[in-house]
């Protein structure tokens, strides 16, 4: 009997599989310029150097001692200090054009503006101007994220009064 890879596990870690998170929706956000998750877990030495050097203090030690981003502490300025300090190759600035090519802001249904309450907090917090508000007759302006402009920095995450902004991976087709 020939055993192959289960298609459900592509792109998720062993821990995600064990916890039943087959689609990776609860994926931990690694520091900028992190290699793919399976390679990251293999390469990262868990030394904590990237966590200690982050000037924004948004990096923290997560499950298994691996670094992760906590946007509730602030936004990433993409200074590159974490990648510069990493000697294991888990964070590699040379391999990527963007720190997080697929991470973007996502507006959840709990957004106040989507519930007809005027709120522009996320758009006002976005340094890239990636969140704009579409005006419609007889309704409150609705937020829209421009995936091409969004850097995934997380500046919109913390200020949201109802935690309706998440930072996550979007499909490549949706970004186009």
Domain of residue 125, CATH code: 3.30.70.3270
Distance CA(77)–CA(62), nearest Å, equals 21
**Of 76, 95, 114, which residue sits at a domain end?**
95
Domain of residue 51, CATH code: 3.30.70.20
Q: Which segments of the chain does DSSP mark as H helices, in order?
A: 14-18, 37-43, 49-53, 81-85, 121-125, 172-175
Q: State residue 87's pLDDT score.
A: 95
The CA-CA-CA angle for residues 149, 72, 118, to 5°, reads 65
Q: How far does Cα 46 stand from its chain's mean position?
A: 20
Note whether 82 and 137 are same-domain residues. Answer: no
The CA-CA-CA angle for residues 8, 4, 172, to 5°, reads 40
Q: What is the DSSP letter of 140?
A: P
**Within-domain flag for 2:** no
Q: State residue 79's pLDDT score.
A: 95
Note whether 59 and 120 are same-domain residues. Answer: no
Three-state SS at 105: strand
**Of 71, 95, 119, which residue sits at a domain end?**
95
| Number of domains the chain is built from | 2
Q: What is the DSSP letter of 39?
A: H
Higher pLDDT, 143 or 169: 143
**Within-domain flag for 124:** yes
| Structural domain of 169 | 103-175
Using the predicted structure, report yes or no on whether residue 23 has a pLDDT greater than 70.
no
Backbone angles phi, psi at 54, to 5 degrees: -65, 115
Note whether 80 and 109 are same-domain residues. Answer: no
Taking Cα atoms as reference points, which of 82, 48, 53 lies closest to residue 67? Answer: 48
**Within-domain flag for 35:** yes
Three-state SS at 17: helix
Q: 168 near 27, Cβ under 8 Å?
A: yes
Q: 142 near 156, Cβ under 8 Å?
A: no
Residue-by-residue DSSP string for 46-89: ---HHHHH-TT--EEE-GGG-EEE-GGG-------HHHHH--SS
**Of 64, 95, 126, which residue sits at a domain end?**
95
Q: What is the DSSP letter of 34?
A: B
pLDDT digits (tens, 9 = 90+) for 82-91: 999 999 999 9
pLDDT digits (tens, 9 = 90+) for 60-79: 999 999 999 999 999 999 99
Q: Which of 34-38, 43-47, 90-94 has the highest mean pLDDT?
A: 43-47
Distance CA(107)–CA(12), nearest Å, equals 23
Q: State residue 169's pLDDT score.
A: 84
């Amino acid at each position: 009997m020939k055993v192959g890879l289960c298609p459900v596990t592509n792109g998720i870690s062993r821990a995600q599989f064990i916890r039943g998170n087959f689609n990776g929706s609860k994926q931990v956000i690694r520091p900028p310029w992190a290699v793919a998750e399976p390679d990251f877990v293999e390469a990262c030495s868990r030394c904590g150097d990237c966590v200690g050097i982050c000037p924004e203090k948004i990096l923290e030690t997560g499950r298994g001692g691996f670094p992760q981003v906590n946007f509730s502490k602030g936004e990433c300025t993409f200074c590159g200090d974490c990648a510069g300090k990493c000697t294991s190759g888990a964070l590699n600035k040379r391999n990527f054009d963007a720190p997080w090519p697929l991470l973007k802001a996502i507006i959840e249904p709990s957004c106040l503006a989507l519930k007809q309450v005027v709120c522009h907090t996320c758009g006002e917090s976005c340094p890239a101007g990636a969140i704009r508000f579409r005006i419609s007759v007889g309704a409150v302006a609705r937020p829209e994220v421009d995936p091409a402009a969004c850097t995934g920095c997380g500046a919109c995450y913390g200020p949201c009064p109802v935690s309706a902004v998440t930072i996550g991976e979007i499909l490549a087709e949706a970004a186009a």
